[in-house]
């Protein structure tokens, strides 16, 4: 879970993003997505927020001035909350480090929104599933971190050591249970324990 604040002024966003791209560290920026990008999947993204436009402009600057063929790291944001407050936005984002994917930009179209504000459409192609490490917030409005391509540790692999998932509110239970099922995690009932609430939620999901 990451909490941070970023501005909405285009010039401010460009200024905030510049120091990160000027550094030569192993960290790279991550574009947060509502659903994870899969390897081979092609997805169109319409980006118009100043923070994302600043990110794209800097990526283009590192790719000879063009976004075509550039590499971009993405990560699944399982939950996001943004609250506009004055001239900034307070963000509360929950991401899945295992839901990261390096993508290649295959197509770019720049246009304007009805308000006249700039908009950039990019077509991403997932090329490599990765794990995000050392995630950190920036005042530029995006997360940064390292990408790892090695296999997950045994205690993090599906069906490995015990994991605990706490769900507050039944409205969130089914989506989380689906993700647990995709990873092969077992409920306490399936492990031989008693978990009536989880069992009931699973039964509701199967209806």
Token digits for 120? 């950039």
Tell me which H or E stretch contains 30.
strand 28-33
Q: Is the pLDDT of residue 46 over 90?
A: yes
Give me the pLDDT at residue 155, please. Answer: 44
pLDDT value of position 152: 46
Q: Which one, of 143, 118, 145, 146, lies nearest residue 6 by Cα?
A: 143
Place of tokens 């590192």: 62
pTM of the model: 0.68
Q: What is the pLDDT of residues 169-183, one digit of tens each?
A: 666 666 676 666 666
Task: Kindly report, residue by residue over 28-41, the tens digit of the pLDDT.
Answer: 889 999 899 999 99
- Based on its alpha-carbon atoms, the radius of gyration of the chain, rounded to whole angstroms, reads 19
Residue 23, pLDDT score:
76
Cα–Cα distance between 35 and 99 in angstroms, integer? Answer: 9
pLDDT band at 161; cut points 50, 70, 90: very low
Give the pLDDT confidence of 85-97 residue by residue, as tens digits. 888 888 888 898 9
SS3 of 38, please? coil
199 vs 182: CA distance, rounded Å: 16
H-helix segments, 71-183? 173-182
Nearest alpha-carbon partner for 105 in 183, 165, 47: 47
More confident residue, 130 or 153: 130
């Amino acid at each position: 879970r990451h909490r941070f604040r970023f501005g909405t002024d285009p010039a401010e966003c460009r200024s905030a993003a510049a120091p990160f791209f000027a550094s030569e560290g192993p960290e790279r920026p991550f574009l947060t997505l509502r659903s994870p990008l899969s390897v081979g999947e092609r997805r169109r993204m319409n980006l118009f927020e100043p923070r994302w436009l600043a990110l794209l402009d800097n990526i283009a600057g590192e790719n000879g001035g063009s976004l075509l063929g550039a590499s971009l790291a993405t990560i699944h944001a399982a939950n996001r909350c943004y609250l506009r407050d004055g001239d900034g936005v307070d963000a509360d984002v929950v991401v899945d480090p295992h839901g990261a994917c390096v993508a290649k930009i295959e197509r770019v179209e720049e246009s304007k929104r009805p308000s006249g504000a700039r908009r950039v459409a990019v077509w991403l192609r997932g090329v490599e599933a990765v794990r995000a490490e050392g995630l950190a917030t920036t005042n530029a409005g995006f997360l940064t971190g390292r990408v790892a391509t090695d296999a997950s540790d045994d205690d993090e692999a599906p069906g490995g050591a015990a994991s605990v998932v706490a769900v507050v509110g039944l409205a969130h239970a089914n989506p989380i249970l689906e993700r647990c099922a995709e990873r092969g995690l077992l409920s306490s009932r399936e492990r031989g324990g008693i978990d009536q609430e989880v069992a009931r939620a699973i039964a509701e999901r199967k209806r």
